[in-house]
Amino acid sequence: MTPGAFVTPVAPNEVWDVERIRKDFPILHQQVHGKPLVYLDSAATSQKPQAVIDALVAYYSVDNSNVHRGVHVLSERATAAYEGARARIQHHLNAASPREIVFVRQATEGINLVMASFGRRFVGPGDEIVISAIEHHANIVPWQMLCEEKGARLRVVPVDERGEIVMEAYVRLLGSRTKLVAMTQVSNALGTVTPIEEIIRLAHQQDIPVLVDGAQAVPHQSVDVQALDCDFYVFSGHKAYGPTGIGVLYGKERWLERMPPFQGGGDMIKAVTFEKTTYNELPYKFEAGTPHIAGAIGLAAGLEYIAGLGLDRIGEYERELLACGTRLLSAIPGVRLIGTARHKAAVLSFVLDGVHAHDLGTILDQQGVAVRAGHHCAMPVMQRFGVPATVRASMTFYNTPAELETLAAAVEGAREIFA
């Protein structure tokens, strides 16, 4: 497979046929508690199209082998498929080189890699890392660990009552001590789409590198790392219609070259003696041990699938879903939406007066509606908005307006139980 072989099979003027798209997702066609499944938890993990399932089955049925070492045909095929997946992902993100695409377990591991490798090399006592108040724990805790180890300081950009980054505060926090900005592109808890281009531009004015947490962006929009000019970009495969256990760290070659390895082991070395080990070239320097070969292939299939649907059209349809869901939930007395950013992904985080999110989650589940109830691995966000937890309905292109009506009716049902 070559990147040039990937074409968009859907004509841009074709209507969005959600029923046809739903047929690609076998898991959606089931009943839970005697009700049709309404899956509104794609921000936690997305469902997988048949194309991804088939890619995994085909790999394990036909090509399974270890990569980068065997002289036999299966190893050559597995290596070609694994490196083909890397090329597909490079193409999808418009990275300059496959050397900049490092396979990791998920966004969390990508951030931890940058923390351990970049952080240990370039961050020292008195230095500062800038994050925002709407980060996932995965983009908070590694930096806290680094700051504690190095005597550095974590600075947090606040958000306003809509859940938008306060840009004036961001600008004030940037300075000569800032060694890295680590910021989300789309908030998992609120759906806020941050002005990431502006965030990167302002940091670069002061030569500060930027890591972007794209876990909630890649599944829903096109991402061009060269246009963004970000220094690092991470995302998880399982939220982008691929398998669990695989993710990607994009890093600019000039940074990755200067960074020490993350973990030691096989594959990341050129030569080992007890006196000295020579590290492998990029990206293998950062891929110790046998990688998740099938996962990489499955993730590439997932990205290929959404590219085939058309990411612009996905965005357009999801904006319609968001408007529909916002209208339906806002009409229910006692519902308060948490996170009302003007530029927002298809996420509805909300609370219902007098009903705890955990109870609401159970009641919705009994109606077949799968949502996340809790703090969404973003406890500081909950504290900012003064709620212990929210219910989060997160939508994607396989959801329908009818499903959102089922959600709204189930929320009404909860109100009645607790009335």
Partner 1 sequence: MSDLRDLYQQVILDHNRKPRNFRRIADANRTAEGHNPLCGDQIALYLTVEDGVVKDAAFQGSGCAISKAAASMMTAGVIGKPEPEVEALFHRVHAMLTGANGAAAEVGKLAVFAGVREFPSRIKCVTLAWHTLQAALRGAAEPVSTE
Catalytic residues: 377
Nearer to partner 1, 201 or 358 (CB): 358
Q: What's the closest the beta carbon of residue 408 comes to partner 1, in angstroms?
A: 16
> Are 135 and 182 a contacting pair, CB within 8 Å?
yes
β-pair partners for 251: 232
Determine the Cα–Cα distance for residues 299 and 293; give it in Å rounded to an integer.
Answer: 10
Rounded to a whole number of angstroms, the minimum distance from the CB of residue 257 to partner 1 is 40
**Nearest-angstrom CA–CA distance, 16 and 192:** 25
Asked if residue 224 lies in contact with residue 93, where contact means CB atoms within 8 angstroms, the answer is yes
Is the Cβ of residue 211 or residue 360 nearer to partner 1 in the bound state?
360
Closer Cβ to partner 1, 133 or 352, answer by number? 352
Residue 73 Cα distances to 64, 76, 124, 292, 295, angstroms: 10, 5, 48, 19, 20
Amino acid letter at 369?
V
- Minimum CB distance to partner 1 smaller for 195 or for 374: 374
Instruction: Please name the residue that has the structure tokens 């691929």.
Output: 242
Q: How far is the CB of 181 from partner 1 (least distance, A)?
A: 29
Task: Give least dist CB 373 to partner 1, A.
Answer: 7
- CA–chain centroid gap for 34, Å, is 32
Q: Are 197 and 177 a contacting pair, CB within 8 Å? A: no
What sign does the dihedral 31-32-35-39 (CA atoms) show? negative
Q: Summarize as ranges the residues that interact with partner 1 (CB under 8 A).
A: 33, 354-359, 362-363, 366, 373-375, 379, 382, 388-389, 413, 417-418
- Which tokens go with 24? 């690609």
Q: How far apart are CA 323 and CA 233, in angstroms?
A: 29
Beta-carbon count within 10 A of 412 CB: 15
Smallest distance from the beta carbon of 371 to partner 1, in angstroms? 13
CA distance 231 to 408: 41
79 vs 367 by CB, closer to partner 1:
367
The nearer residue to partner 1, 341 or 373, going by C-beta atoms, is 373
Q: How far is the CB of 204 from partner 1 (least distance, A)?
A: 38
| Shortest separation between residue 388's beta carbon and partner 1, angstroms | 4
Closest to 142 measured CA to CA, from 165, 122, 114, 121: 114
> Cα–Cα distance between 295 and 290 in angstroms, integer?
12
Cβ-based nearer residue to partner 1, 7 or 419: 419
Q: Which of 173, 175, 168 is nearest to 206 (CA)?
A: 175
Round to whole Å and give the CA distance between 136 and 189: 8
